[in-house]
Structure 1
Amino acid sequence: MSIGLRLTNRTFLLACIFSSLVVCLFILTNSRIQPSYKSHILSLRITTVNEEANQSKLPGYFVQYEHPVPSNISYCNFHYGLPLELKYSTEDEEYGPEMGPNSPYRILYNIITPKIDSNVPGITYATHMTSTFMRYVPELLRYWDGMLSIAAFVPEIDAAFVISQLNQFCYCLPGMSRVSFHFVYHKDIPPSKKYVYFTKPTSCKVDDSSKFDTYSKNAVKRSTYPINVCRNAARSAAITNDVLVSDIQLMPSEGLARKFLAMKETYKLTDIVDRVYVLPIFEVESTVEIPRTKKELIQLAKDEKAVYFHRYICTHCQKFPNIAAWMVTDPGDAVKPFITVKREVPYHRWEPIYIGTKNEPPYNELLSWEGLQDKMLQMLEMCLVGYKFVILDGAFLVHWPGMKKTKTKEEKWRESFVQANTKQYHIILRNLTAKYPPRPQCKMQ
């Protein structure tokens, strides 16, 4: 009996020891596996966060968070039967503002008209775009506090892409009440009336318009982008006296419209013929947020994360006079005149973007975007006229994040367009020479 009991106790003790060893082995084994498992989960989480961060850099991405559900009403005044269908006749079409009846392009003005609001500053950001840049419209509404006039090039099916996103924006973005929208197209490639059957959107998540399967991408013969017809159309359609003609990827500094008008009032700057107000342009690294104030911009420049626009690929294009002094001044929370200059040697290749009126020389509509130098002759004409350029302090434009540091290699597809632009360039140059007295400091070229 006692021997059997001792055997039982010994067996129990051995069983306990064996169980303990198994538990210890499991713990040790699990401790080796666990860090790897945790690391894997952490890796997945970091990947997800990084993907989310990358997505948040896409234009228009903020809309789904600030306006997750479409409104029950549209913020837009649509015309021509839109957004349900597109109905227009030849009587509705107008010609390019510069070329008139000689223009091969047609314009449908006021696809959307703005709702007048006395609280909105009376200055218009006039810009141009193709359907693949639609996602920048929400960003301009986000950063610009004035009116907005947009001319879109819409050959064939591209019109449907634009109308689709316009309809979505009109239900998701209250700022669309500040927008006038216009269609530009070649008379032989009008906007298609097909596929226009849009109803209230179910979501405010903005599609990546750069991936649209557009007409231009699939055209057998590449259609040129009439950038200056679009610029002229957007400017002429502005309902305000002050107009900023800019590119859709250039985001204005904080409260620019309101502060500019306050500056004019403070300094008693009534409208003077042959004077415009220049906005310095910068570009920033893709890893940073768009600076809203000059203080933020200067800090990014000190950190080598911001430079004047095209510094690395076209040093003369946006390097404005007295830039070094501009980079160290502090205008506070206001917009002020910095310096008044003329666009003369050695700044005869400078291409400033400015706030002016609808009375400035038109952009030359025979020049295409593909052929390059599309703004140069308008700048030259302003020099010949004797325009004064008031560079502003405390106001600036920032290109959508992403800095170009190397010049693109020769693009073979551009060659024929460059030749066409060059031919037209010299014809227009001869006309300007005959129209104005000689001014050697403008350096005719």
Structure 2
Amino acid sequence: MKEEEWMEDNGKQEERKEEDEGELKKVGRREISPGVFCQDKDLIFRQGLRGNYWVLYNYIIADKSFRCDESITYTTHADYTFLDNLEPIIERWMGPVSLAVYAPGEDFINSVQAILYFRNCLASELVRDYTTFHLFFDWEHTPQSVPSQDQLQNMVRFLGAFHYNLTIPLDHFRNVARETAQTHFVFPSDIELYPSPGTIPSFLEMVKANVGPGSPLKPRVYVNSIFEIDISAEHLPREKVELVNMIKSGLVIPFHKHVCSACHNIPFAQNWTEAPVKPGMSVLHVGKRVKPYQRWEPIYIGTNSEPVYDERLSWEGRREKMVQGYKMCVLDYEFHILDNAFLIHRPGIKTMKILHSNIDNKKVAAQNSFINKKILPQVKKTNQLVYCLGCCPE
């Protein structure tokens, strides 16, 4: 082929490539990292049955909308008494939040009024701009009325608390909040865990660069290290350097150190605190859920391709995140531990005394039996051709 013909043909290929990229953007399909695409989606109110629960998806929608490739959605769960955590989370996160709120019976109207208070009556508009709320309740405690979107505009009064002594379907929360996210990447977390500022842009830049350790053939998630801070601390750390200094002073400790250290005994934890702090974000180490980390409950950035949480389990029965970890081990997941990303719990160090006051031993025993006799055998049976099951300690 002559040089002129080659240049003309190459130019046409470039034009077609640009046209194809333009068409992809028109339909909302975007490349988030080399060879990995995501699809934009709108947040639209819908409702439906989920087990014994009726879910109002996207019941109250954030004012801001996001492309699938431009942010990470912080997905979490709560009842309305925990909504005061939203503003400090968003102030540090500055990205979309998807929150599932359990609102049975009379708690429904209290939840709506609390949401509207935090959306409309605070000095900042962070909650209004970034948080989408999903409400759900079980059939036995259906609210007397559910306000329409138009009626919500006139409800701003905040009432006092009303509680039912019900088992909390925590994994329903997690799945509802996660699957409704607009963004490709999601960060399922707890509402009292506050993320480190700047995580979103640094993480997306790292993913786009597509460099670092690990196998491209294995599934992966990106783990944040978690800490607790003493209630006497004047402020929360915003950067890793500040966090490490607080660890040295004793103001900050690893998460659940006095309650269940094995649950958050992250691989290479000491190396994480001692490693030199570099700009940006990268993967410090790749961990696996193997001994002695079989009880590890990592909190990670991932996608909706990850296994869903088992909705047969409750918060009161415990071990629900350990089951998730076992599923991911069976599927041979790599846990990529991020060097400059962390979560800090709402101030106050948890102790065994506080933990024991919240434990229902009968529910814990019943759920342990159900996990060991039903769930783990089911996971083994459905994944026996995927990975070496004997490599995953229970």
Shorter-chain TM-score range: 0.7 to 0.9
Q: Work out the CA distance in 2 between the residues paired with 1:272 and 1:293.
A: 33
Alignment match, 1:439: 389
Alignment match, 1:83: none
The answer to whether the 8 Å contact 2:171/2:311 transfers is: yes
Amino acid in the other structure paired with 1:228: D
Q: Alignment partner of 1:262: what SS?
A: helix
Alignment match, 1:308: 254
The answer to whether the 8 Å contact 1:150/1:179 transfers is: yes
Alignment match, 2:125: 174
1:111 maps onto 2:44 in alignment: no
The answer to whether the 8 Å contact 1:131/1:159 transfers is: no
CA displacement at 1:257 relative to structure 2: 1.3
Alignment match, 2:89: 140
- 1:281 pairs with one of 226, 246, 253: 226
Amino acid in the other structure paired with 1:167: L
Structure 1 stretches lacking a partner, 5+ long:
1-76, 81-91, 97-102, 217-221
Which aligned pairs between 1:28-427 and structure 2 lie closer than 5 A? 92-96=46-50, 103-114=51-62, 115-117=64-66, 121-171=70-120, 172=122, 173-175=124-126, 176-193=128-145, 199=154, 201=156, 212-216=160-164, 222-268=165-211, 274-288=219-233, 289-408=235-354, 410-411=356-357, 414-426=360-372, 427=374
The answer to whether the 8 Å contact 2:316/2:359 transfers is: no
Larger strand percent: 2
TM score, norm. by length of structure 2: 0.79
Pair 1:199–1:267, CA change in 2 (3 A): same
Larger of the two Rg values belongs to structure: 1
Structure 2 stretches lacking a partner, 5+ long:
1-41
Q: Work out the CA distance in 2 between the residues paired with 1:412 and 1:400.
A: 18
CA displacement at 1:145 relative to structure 2: 1.6
CA displacement at 1:268 relative to structure 2: 4.7
Q: Work out the CA distance in 2 between the residues paired with 1:170 and 1:120.
A: 26
Q: Work out the CA distance in 1 between the residues paired with 2:67 and 2:331.
A: 35
What CA deviation, in whole Å up to 9, does each residue of 1:84-111 have, x standing for no partner? xxxxxxxx53233xxxxxx112211001
CA displacement at 1:323 relative to structure 2: 0.9
Amino acid in the other structure paired with 1:368: S
Q: Work out the CA distance in 1 between the residues paired with 2:216 and 2:139.
A: 37
What CA deviation, in whole Å up to 9, does each residue of 1:145-190 have, x standing for no partner? 2211000100011122221122223224422222221012112212
Greater Cα offset, 109-118 or 311-320: 109-118
The answer to whether the 8 Å contact 1:278/1:352 transfers is: yes
Alignment match, 1:50: none
CA displacement at 1:139 relative to structure 2: 1.8
Q: Alignment partner of 2:140: what SS?
A: coil
The answer to whether the 8 Å contact 1:121/1:146 transfers is: no
Q: Work out the CA distance in 1 between the residues paired with 2:279 and 2:125.
A: 26
Aligned residue-pair number: 339
The answer to whether the 8 Å contact 1:274/1:388 transfers is: yes
Pair 1:402–1:412, CA change in 2 (3 A): closer
CA displacement at 1:399 relative to structure 2: 0.4
CA RMSD of aligned residues (A): 2.7
Q: Work out the CA distance in 2 between the residues paired with 1:272 and 1:112.
A: 39
The answer to whether the 8 Å contact 1:160/1:192 transfers is: no
The answer to whether the 8 Å contact 1:339/1:392 transfers is: yes
Greater Cα offset, 242-251 or 401-410: 401-410
